[in-house]
Structure 1
């Protein structure tokens, strides 16, 4: 009889234990969430220490739970070159699965020891983010822009026109059709292909395209967009900038309605939906 009571007691306790464990269970508590290799969503800063021999990099990494990042590190991907240093930032995180709770971001710092002082070399992080000591306040390095660490001076040059196209978020694979420039003012016509990939240009629809025209003023930051307009002549730009020189706009022909996506209205600011590019 005692043996039977013991068996019953064991079964009851086992049942209670199973019920309690299942009552509050959740997928995140009962399933393993894999950690995967990742890279920062943004590199926000760089600075030097130890006489330029140590590089410290600040970046945005996953957060929101007690354990979201491990092994955050910076490594040299190539031997130090005469003009630049290449660095890669990596970490492991379960943030790819929202059950991890790592749905936010916070700043973290990784450091890498350089074999020689950085000097005047540029720092390239994860292939596309650049920093330079030129024009920076030590120990910080200066974050470079889309046109590199030494953007082209505003002027009537191809590199300068590329900056103007970036300023208005010109679509990918944009072609400059014409420009009128005096170094202080600029009017730029450009177009981009539509439809299927053209290859050698013989495919149907390869001649289909859209076009646009923008007027700019030169400032320290580069070409600044003033107004967009498809109409000919100076009327559109003179309403926005009366000082715009007449010789640069009086001979402008209207853009064809088939080439202009918003013909004939003009807008005063770039469209945020376009993909930044340059010709």
Structure 2
């Protein structure tokens, strides 16, 4: 089995030992055997590690219905250097910007997300910040680098690429207002109304030049 999640990676004092913190089954009886971390591929620009263990937790009658923290150790064939570590194919850690010996967990936008600004990559981060539906597309942006208004829509019918099906003409829309933070665009207000009145009640410092020309979102 593989663990339900990886909570951290630390680098040993020798520069080549990884201590991988994870969550494993726990309960009344011995619920984990043979927890180990192994390097799955030769080291390139990444160190790829896989965690496995044996457990009866698939059978609820085993009593292994809780979880606990555990640590597995793997020794690399050479020092980690500036490589990132990928655990179980999808959880990535980096030394860049980390506080050793711990590595830093990378997010959905990778280990070096785009800086907040008036860029397409930055707007994609803004959509993720409000859990925009899948296949959302941006209608318009008003941005000055410190503040952002983002209008976006998504289809309500089936997959519509190149389709003339009636359902593909139906869509829903949303409008969010953001302020820039070190972590990216931070959403603070949502409204379908036009102009500045509603948003400036929520944030008096929001600049009028970005909201004065906004039309109300159509009801669909």
TM-score (norm: length of structure 1): 0.76
Distance, in Å, in 2 between the alignment partners of 1:110 and 1:77 is 15
Instruction: Tell me which protein shows more strand as a share of its residues.
Output: 2
Tell me which residue corresponds to 2:27.
64
Corresponding residue SS for 1:237: helix
Question: What are structure 1's unaligned runs of at least 5 residues?
Answer: 1-37, 259-279
Tell me which residue corresponds to 2:9.
46
2:143 is aligned with 1:181: yes
Tell me by how many angstroms 1:50 deviates. Answer: 4.6
2:171 is aligned with 1:209: yes
1:70-103 superposed Cα distances (whole Å, 9 cap, x missing partner): 121112222111x211112122211122111011
Distance, in Å, in 2 between the alignment partners of 1:233 and 1:248 is 9
Corresponding residue SS for 1:105: strand
Name which of 85, 102, 126 aligns with 1:123: 85
Name which of 133, 136, 143 aligns with 2:98: 136
Distance, in Å, in 1 between the alignment partners of 2:50 and 2:165 is 42
Distance, in Å, in 2 between the alignment partners of 1:204 and 1:54 is 59
Which one has the largest radius of gyration? Answer: 1
2:186 is aligned with 1:224: yes
Corresponding residue SS for 1:236: helix
Number of residue pairs aligned between Structure 1 and Structure 2: 220
Tell me which residue corresponds to 1:102.
64
Distance, in Å, in 1 between the alignment partners of 2:145 and 2:161 is 36
2:112 is aligned with 1:150: yes
Of 237-246 and 89-98, deviating more is 89-98
Question: What are structure 2's unaligned runs of at least 5 residues?
Answer: none
Of 102-111 and 203-212, deviating more is 203-212
Q: Contact between 1:226 and 1:237, CA under 8 Å: does it hold in 2?
A: no
Instruction: Tell me which protein shows more helix as a share of its residues.
Output: 1
Name which of 213, 237, 260 aligns with 2:199: 237
